[in-house]
Amino acid sequence: MKSAQHGRHEGVQTLQVGEESAGQRIDNFLLSHLKGAPRSLVYRILRRGEVRVNRGRVKPDYRLSVGDQLRIPPLRLAAERVPGSPGPRLLAALRDRIIYEDANLLVLNKPSGLAVHGGSGLSFGAIEALRALRPQARYLELVHRLDRDTSGCLMVAKRRSTLRVLHELLRAGGVDKRYLTLLRGTWGPEVRQVDVALRKNVLRSGERLVNVSEEGKAALSLFHPRTIYGETATLVEVGLVTGRTHQIRVHAAHIGHPVAGDDKYGDGAFNRSMQDYGLRRLFLHAYRLELDLPSTGHLKVTAPLDDDLQAVLDALARI
Q: Which residues are known catalytic residues?
A: 147
Query: Strand 151-157 to strand 284-293: parallel, antiparallel, or no bridges (unpaired)?
Result: parallel
Q: Is the dihedral of CA 150, 35, 63, 50 positive or negative?
A: positive
Amino acid at site 132:
A
Q: Supply angle C-alpha 30, 177, 175, rounded to 5.
A: 65
Q: Supply angle C-alpha 227, 185, 224, rounded to 5.
A: 40
CA–CA separation, 269 and 220 (whole Å) = 28
Dihedral-angle region of residue 289 (phi above 0 means left; psi in -120 to 50 means alpha; beta otherwise): beta
Q: 182 and 283 in contact (C-beta within 8 Å)?
A: yes
Q: 199 and 215 in contact (C-beta within 8 Å)?
A: yes
SS3 label, residue 199: strand
Q: Which DSSP state fits 25?
A: B
Dihedral-angle region of residue 36 (phi above 0 means left; psi in -120 to 50 means alpha; beta otherwise): left
SS3 label, residue 76: strand
Query: Strand 141-142 to strand 151-157: parallel, antiparallel, or no bridges (unpaired)?
Result: antiparallel
Cα dist from 117 to 169, 251, 275, whole Å: 22, 25, 29
